[in-house]
């Protein structure tokens, strides 16, 4: 009989595969599929058709569909076995898909409990995993909770993610992310991110904060803070990146710290510390410290608006507006000082103001002065306490550098002298390798031979004049010039005169005389209207025709000014070997040299008879020095 039954089942199964549209039906009180040689069997009782139950594996290969008998609100019994479910939750079908039409699902009440404590719960809007995770949450809007008592006291907050022991434990805000032990566990704000053990742990109402790292942002209570690193802290618009950042200070606002212990003990506002221990023990506000231990000696709340760049401690208790760039630049104090270079002005006193120091070890002797400028390696100003001093390379020094904005400094510059006496005082030789060519220049620089001072004088080329026309004097007894038109100038500017200045004049021509009334000749050299040399009457004899002559004289200045003096000597030589002396009786002549004077050479004839004449063909005038 059993063999016949099995044959029928196999036949009907084959027919079913051939014609999928037909159903195969067995009507019996129980359907048992078994094998005599094995204890394995499948038992389907007809009495369970309309009864909720489960397909149960009873061991030893036996599988049986049994009725689920309700013992109480939390326990179902299957034969001698029990299965406990917590009621009042949503069924799995509803949790996953309310419109699910599959015929294969487990529809148990939502939530998994242990000793009446929620351990696992999930809906369309919330996922809770962990002991009392999200326990008080009622709104259940887009929250994800994983961890022991994570988001435990949240009632109405939504769109939060809490992962870790006590993460976001008291949260009532929105859009928060907490990952780690006690991360954001006291926060009630919104849009915060805390990742790491104790991250943002003391943030209560602040929002828009980011804390990443062990206890990062742990003391931050304000908003808009970013803290990344172990014990990195920030408060009110603060940024800290590194370990122990702003860890010990009474946190200010709008501070930025990057580096190990940067701004660690700072209590001011709007400070920036970048580097290992940058501004670690300093205080004050609006400071910038970049570099290892930079700004660590900025002590006292009056240190404001300072900029420290380099491995430099800074220094002082009353610093304002100081800029220091370089390792250990400025270890002193002061206000509005600028230091650039290693050890630049490392001993400046607190009362030193407005000093500019550029160069390694420069300005180290400045203690109390102000408005000093030192440039160059180890460049020191002349006095440790004076002000308005200049030192460039310990070679060029200056005083009274007191001009500001459009005001010109009323000081002096010295080269190789710390105490310049003049606007430019050179203690040594002054040389010029080359100079540009110019066509005109009213003044030149000259050294006063008495004082050594450099003074200006009118610039003139070596003064010259050359006559280009013939001058003839005839028929007159009036004093008449022998100089006609020519190239150059006979005018000597007042500024050209100095003691020793000399000029030379030469006149060449011919003379003739009447055979019956010959004239005597008187030659004169003049500066302006003043005669500085002359001859007595020269007797040339009668009946002379075109006898060559030459007048030669020199003028040397003895003194200058309105009562200046000159000395002039010369000769008159004729072709007849006649020689006459041209002078001023062997004495100097007083001339007003405070104004320009024109040099002239004249002749006077004693008789104007026909045949008496003097002509000049060549006249030259030149400055000798």
CA-CA distances (angstroms) from residue 604 to 477, 531, 546?
A: 6, 13, 17
pLDDT tier, 104 (very low <50, low <70, confident <90, very high otherwise):
very low
Residue 76 has φ and ψ, to the nearest 5°, of: -115, 145
For 197, the token pair is 């053990």
Confidence (pLDDT) at 345: 72
pLDDT tier, 68 (very low <50, low <70, confident <90, very high otherwise):
low
The CATH architecture that domain 464-623 belongs to is Sandwich (2.60)
Contacts of 571 (CB under 8 A, 6+ apart): 551, 552, 553, 579, 580, 581, 582
Give me the percent of the chain exceeding a pLDDT of 90: 30
CA-CA distances (angstroms) from residue 114 to 118, 131, 244, 497?
A: 6, 9, 41, 121
Confidence (pLDDT) at 135: 75
Contacts of 441 (CB under 8 A, 6+ apart): 459
For 279, the token pair is 């501004």
Q: What is the pLDDT of residues 430-478, one digit of tens each?
A: 777 777 766 666 677 777 877 777 777 766 568 899 999 999 999 999 9
Q: How far is it, in rounded angstroms, from Cα 251 to Cα 203?
A: 13
224-232 average pLDDT score: 83
Q: Which of 94-98, 341-345, 523-527 has the highest mean pLDDT?
A: 523-527
Residue (of 341, 344, 286) closest to 315 by Cα position: 344
Domain ranges of the chain: 2-84, 87-95+109-241, 464-623
Confidence (pLDDT) at 188: 83
Q: What is the pLDDT of residues 244-282, one digit of tens each?
A: 766 544 567 888 888 888 887 777 888 888 888 887 776
CATH pick for 87-95+109-241 out of 1.10.3720.10, 3.90.79.10, 2.102.10.10, 2.150.10.10: 2.150.10.10
pTM above the 0.75 mark?
Answer: no
Q: Where are the alpha helices (DSSP H) in 47-105?
A: 92-96
Q: How far is it, in rounded angstroms, from Cα 238 to Cα 266?
A: 12
With contact defined as beta carbons under 8 Å apart, do 167 and 182 qualify? yes
More confident residue, 216 or 18: 216
Q: How far is it, in rounded angstroms, from Cα 551 to Cα 510?
A: 11
Radius of gyration for the chain, computed over Cα atoms and rounded to the nearest angstrom: 58
Q: What is the pLDDT of residues 584-608, one digit of tens each?
A: 887 899 999 999 999 999 999 999 9
Residue 14 has φ and ψ, to the nearest 5°, of: -65, -40
Confidence (pLDDT) at 90: 46
């Amino acid at each position: 009989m059993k063999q016949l039954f099995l044959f029928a089942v196999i036949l009907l199964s084959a027919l079913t595969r051939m014609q999928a549209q037909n159903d195969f039906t067995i009507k019996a009180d129980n359907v048992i599929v078994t094998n005599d040689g094995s204890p394995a069997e499948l038992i389907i009782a007809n009495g369970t058709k309309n009864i909720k139950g489960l397909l149960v594996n009873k061991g030893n290969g036996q599988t049986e569909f049994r009725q689920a008998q309700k013992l109480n609100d939390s326990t179902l019994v299957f034969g001698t076995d029990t299965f406990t479910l917590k009621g009042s939750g949503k069924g799995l079908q509803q949790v996953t898909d309310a419109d699910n039409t599959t015929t294969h699902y487990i529809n148990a009440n939502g939530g998994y409990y242990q000793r009446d404590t929620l351990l696992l719960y999930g809906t369309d809007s919330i996922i809770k995993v962990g002991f009392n995770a999200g326990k008080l949450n009622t709104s259940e809007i887009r929250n994800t909770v994983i961890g022991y008592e994570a988001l435990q006291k949240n009632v109405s907050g939504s769109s939060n993610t809490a992962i870790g022991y006590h993460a976001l434990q008291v949260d009532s805000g929105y859009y928060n992310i907490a990952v780690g032990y006690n991360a954001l566990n006291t926060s009630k704000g919104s849009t915060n991110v805390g990742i790491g053990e104790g991250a943002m742990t003391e943030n209560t109402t602040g929002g828009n904060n980011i804390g990443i790292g062990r206890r990062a942002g742990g003391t931050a209570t304000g908003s808009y803070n970013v803290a990344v690193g172990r014990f990195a802290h920030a408060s009110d618009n603060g940024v800290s990146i590194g370990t122990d950042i702003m860890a010990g200070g009474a946190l200010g606002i709008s501070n930025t710290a990057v580096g190990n212990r940067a701004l660690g003990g700072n209590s001011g506002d709007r400070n920036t510390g970048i580097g290992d221990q940058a501004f670690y023990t300093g205080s004050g506000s609006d400071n910038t410290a970049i570099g290892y231990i930079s700004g660590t000696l900025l002590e006292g709340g009056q240190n404001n608006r300072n900029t420290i760049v380099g491995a430099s401690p800074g220094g002082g208790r009353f610093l304002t507006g100081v800029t220091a760039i370089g390792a250990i630049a400025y270890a002193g104090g002061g206000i509005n000082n600028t230091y650039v270079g290693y050890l630049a002005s490392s001993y400046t006193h607190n009362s030193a103001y407005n000093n500019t120091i550029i160069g390694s070890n420069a300005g180290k002797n400045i203690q109390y002065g102000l408005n000093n400028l030192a440039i160059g390696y180890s460049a020191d100003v002349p006095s440790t306490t004076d002000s308005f001093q200049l030192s460039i390379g310990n070679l060029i020094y200056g005083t009274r550098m007191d001009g500001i904005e459009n005001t010109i400094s009323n000081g002096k510059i010295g080269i190789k002298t710390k105490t310049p006496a003049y606007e430019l005082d050179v203690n040594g030789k002054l040389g010029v390798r080359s100079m540009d060519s110019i066509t005109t220049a009213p003044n030149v620089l000259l050294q006063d031979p008495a004082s050594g001072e450099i003074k200006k004088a009118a610039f003139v080329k070596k003064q010259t004049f050359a006559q280009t026309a013939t001058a003839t004097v005839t028929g007159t007894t009036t004093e008449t010039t022998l100089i006609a038109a020519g190239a150059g100038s006979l005018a000597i500017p007042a500024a050209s005169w100095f003691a020793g200045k000399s000029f030379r004049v030469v006149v060449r021509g011919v003379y003739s005389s009447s055979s019956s009334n010959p004239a005597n000749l008187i030659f004169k050299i003049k500066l302006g209207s003043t005669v500085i040399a002359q001859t007595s009457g020269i007797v040339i004899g009668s009946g002379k025709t075109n006898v060559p002559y030459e007048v030669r004289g020199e003028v040397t200045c003895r003194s200058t000014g309105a009562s200046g003096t000159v000395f002039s000597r010369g000769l008159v030589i004729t072709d007849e070997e006649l020689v006459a002396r041209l002078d001023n009786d062997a004495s100097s002549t007083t001339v007003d040299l405070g104004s320009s004077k024109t040099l002239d050479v004249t002749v006077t004839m004693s008789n104007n008879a026909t045949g008496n004449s003097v002509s000049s063909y060549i006249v030259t005038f030149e400055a000798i020095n």
